[in-house]
Structure 1
Amino acid sequence: MGGATGMLGGGLLAFLISRITPIPANVPLWSIVAALLASALTGVGFGLYPASRAARLDPVEALRYE
């Protein structure tokens, strides 16, 4: 979700910069795809470890200390 929001914000900012200033601000498609993949891999990578640890816990023991 954060990656998509950041890409939309960056695209809007590049569009506004190219409209307001004479500086061309084109965003290549490969960089959008790379940013989306990096964001997805980061989310999966940092979510996988806690999820695998939580899956090994006994639910009663895990909720006892909540």
Structure 2
Amino acid sequence: MISLHYRNNAMRHRGLHESMMYDTFRQYKNAIKVQNDTDRLKEQIATRFVWHVCEWAHVKFN
């Protein structure tokens, strides 16, 4: 295991930190995209459900 807490190791591990920083940011962006896609999908499903309820009620009660 690499110790990243000592000052003399800071410069040697700069590339590692940069790589981890970019990787973490990519993961964050992906999580936000998945969350947005999920929210959009929930809206679409709710809209379709309401539409089917309205159609069912129209057929049943008219």
**The two structures share one fold, judged by TM-score above 0.5:** no
TM-score, normalization by structure 1: 0.42
Higher helix share: 2
Computing the radius of gyration from Cα coordinates, the structure with the larger value is 2
TM-score by length of 2: 0.44
Report 1 or 2 for greater relative contact order, CA contacts < 8 Å, sequence distance ≥ 6. 1
